[in-house]
Amino acid sequence: MSGPRSLLSRIAASTAALAVAIVVLAFFSFNAIRGDIFQDSFETPLDEWSAFLAGYIGQDPARAQVAARNHEMGVVVTTEDDTFAFGPDGRATTPGHLADHFPHARTIIVQGHGERQTSFYLNESAAAGTGTVRLWTLIGGLLFLLGVVYVVQLSQLRPLRWLKEGVDKVSEGDLSTRVPVVRMDEIGQVGVAFNRMTEHVEQMLDDHDRLLADVSHELRSPLARIKVALEMLPEGKKREQIAKDIREMEGLTSALLERERIKGRTARPHRDNVDLVATAKAVISGFKGRGPGIELVASPESLVVAGDEALLKVLMQNVLDNALKFSLEDSAHAEVRLLEDEAGVSIIVDDDGTGVPAEMSNRVLEPFVKLDPSRGHRRGYGLGLNLCQRIVQAHAGDIRIEPREPRGTRVVITLPGPA
């Protein structure tokens, strides 16, 4: 099966093929019209016209001159007493001059009364030139009409391009995407259905997040009461287990509330010039003492981006926390690189931990997605990377999770430079 081709490229190819067919057909038709078979059909009318014109001219040089000039042809009249000739411009000339200057002219000879003979030199090359100009004019007109049809086709298919762009944005997680609907034909109806679907999905996810936030908030009071009641229980294994469960519930509740707080802020991020180098150094210093450690191995002296400093700190903290959280006993230190190129500013974090399978590199950005505990992913609630994705999207950036060889994970974050 051949590779994918866009609909627009197929339309362009078919239009070009149709244009070539029009040119070829026009040339063949033009040559057929000029062919001997077609011209032979005019022999009798042409002879009759010549005989009529010869009778009109008679032996009058003035009439011969007018006929030569009006019909742009050579005229020679020979009588018993005289011979006179006129060129296509109506000027007097000689029969020899006409024969020399019109070697390819079509000659028609009409015998009159007595010794009178009238000869007409029809300049077929001039007629052919006129026909060629008309041919190219016709071809140009057809190609122009074809171009207009092609442009109209593109305008009719523009909603399909909008739909494709909308689907791409939704696949990247932007459920606020809506496509323009300019007409209610079949494509317009698909656009309306797409907008209705994305609106419904966005509302469902918002309701889901709001429910989680409300439940998390409401859980704090009963958890506080349970902790008070727990203090009245005697020391023992059961008390320790209950306390562990309570700490885990508190951690999850705090994570959910923090996620909701960050989500609300990402909807309206502050825009300041933030020095990523200084921010990265401050965040890395906060992990001092946690093994296997973090090093800033490459960065310029200063790297400024337009963004929300508080959110960017949360972004780096979550990424670096994951790098340390899923490290192994023999893991090397995590490495941070800050780079700048034409695409923008990149934050690259490499760790030597348990790693993320390639097939899960996109799923781990979803909320509550946790990897196989047997691979060492036993901690966390599956919210950290989802928060990172929200923060990056709020800054019009991109985040990718890539596996490293022989083990470990690389996180690549791309942000636009300063405005």
Residue ranges of the chain that CATH labels 1.10.287.130? 186-266
Q: What is the pLDDT averaged over residues 329-351?
A: 88
What confidence category does residue 181 fall into, taking pLDDT thresholds of 50, 70 and 90? confident
Q: What is the pLDDT averaged over residues 400-409?
A: 88
pLDDT over threshold 70, residue 419:
no
What's the gap between Cα 192 and its chain centre? 22
CATH of 272-415 given 3.30.565.10, 3.40.50.300, 1.10.4190.10, 3.30.1360.20: 3.30.565.10
Specify whether the CB–CB gap between 381 and 402 falls below 8 A. no
Q: What is the pLDDT averaged over residues 324-339?
A: 89
Q: What is the pLDDT of residue 70?
A: 86
In angstroms, rounded to a whole number, what is the distance separating the alpha carbons of residues 72 and 96? 18
Which of these ranges, 177-186, 278-287, 290-299, 364-373, has the smallest mean pLDDT? 364-373
Q: What is the pLDDT averaged over residues 162-187?
A: 81
pLDDT over threshold 90, residue 226:
no
Strand partners of residue 345? 340, 415
What confidence category does residue 124 fall into, taking pLDDT thresholds of 50, 70 and 90? low
Question: What average pLDDT is seen over the chain?
Answer: 78
Asked if CATH classification 1.10.510.10 holds for the domain at 186-266, the reply, yes or no, is no
Q: What is the pLDDT of residue 377?
A: 47
In angstroms, rounded to a whole number, what is the distance separating the alpha carbons of residues 212 and 42? 92
pLDDT over threshold 50, residue 251:
yes
Q: What is the pLDDT of residue 134?
A: 65
What confidence category does residue 366 fall into, taking pLDDT thresholds of 50, 70 and 90? confident
pLDDT in tens, 15-31: 777 777 777 776 666 66
Specify whether the CB–CB gap between 139 and 118 falls below 8 A. no
pLDDT in tens, 42-83: 567 777 888 888 888 888 889 988 888 888 888 888 888 888
pLDDT over threshold 90, residue 336:
yes
Q: What is the pLDDT of residue 3?
A: 45
pLDDT in tens, 100-119: 777 667 788 888 877 788 88
pLDDT over threshold 70, residue 130:
no
Minimal CA–CA distance to 413: which of 335, 275, 302, 315?
Answer: 315
Residue ranges of the chain that CATH labels 3.30.565.10? 272-415
Portion of the chain with pLDDT greater than 70, in percent: 78
